[in-house]
């Protein structure tokens, strides 16, 4: 384990359900990870692959609130939107839609488990409506965005940007 990077995310496809599961450890508290996922200024700094700029268009991080952002690179924009269904101290339940595929809505649950040693394990689960949809996500290169985004979050945590 290095000072600002623990390990890449483990990304798994459930064999029986159209679910993608992501597990990743962070040198952070659950409160820090919750803040990084719900504070729009922090979220925009780390989400997605390197070289993408994120612009928050709508962000209401509360039960029943909505969110929307655009990721930009090389003059192209990619929109994403969803609704926060539940936010607790250790859990976020939300929907996630890539606006390029508006009929494909995922139900996402993120859980932050304190490991008691200064680290937190994040468990994320995305339920989509079909195995074909799930498999399209998996071959889209999503792991690059996940790993590079969380590496940026690691650096922010190590630098004290996320208190």
Q: Enumerate the domain spans of the chain.
A: 10-158
Interatomic CA distance for residues 16 and 152, integer angstroms = 33
pLDDT tens for the 163 residues of the chain, in order = 333 445 689 999 999 999 999 999 999 999 999 999 999 999 999 999 999 999 999 999 999 999 999 999 999 999 999 999 999 999 999 999 999 888 889 999 999 999 999 999 999 999 999 999 899 888 888 889 999 999 999 999 999 999 8
Give the model's pLDDT for residue 102: 86
pLDDT digits (tens, 9 = 90+) for 152-162: 999 999 999 99
Query: What are φ and ψ of residue 67, in 5° steps?
Result: -145, 155
Q: Count how many residues are written for the chain.
A: 163
Please tell me whether residue 161 adopts helix, strand or coil conformation: coil
Name residue, tokens 């928050």: 56
Give the model's pLDDT for residue 7: 65
Helix extents (H) in the chain: 30-38, 40-46, 131-139, 142-158
CATH architecture of the domain with range 10-158: 2-Layer Sandwich (3.30)
Quote the pTM value: 0.92
Asked whether 142 and 135 are in contact (CB, 8 A), the reply is: no
């Amino acid at each position: 384990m290095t000072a600002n990077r623990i390990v890449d995310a483990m990304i798994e496809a459930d064999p029986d359900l159209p679910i993608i599961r992501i597990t990743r450890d962070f040198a952070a508290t659950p409160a820090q990870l919750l803040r990084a996922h719900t504070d729009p200024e922090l979220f925009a700094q780390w989400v997605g692959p390197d070289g993408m700029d994120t612009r928050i268009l709508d962000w209401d991080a509360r039960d029943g609130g909505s969110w929307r952002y655009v990721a930009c690179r090389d003059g192209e924009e990619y929109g994403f939107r969803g609704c926060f269904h539940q936010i607790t101290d250790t859990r976020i339940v939300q929907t996630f839609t890539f606006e390029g595929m508006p009929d494909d809505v995922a139900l996402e649950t993120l859980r932050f488990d304190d490991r008691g040693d200064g680290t937190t394990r994040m468990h994320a689960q995305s339920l989509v409506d079909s195995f074909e949809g799930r498999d399209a996500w998996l071959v889209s290169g999503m792991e690059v965005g996940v790993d590079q985004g969380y590496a940026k979050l690691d650096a922010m945590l190590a630098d004290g940007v996320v208190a």
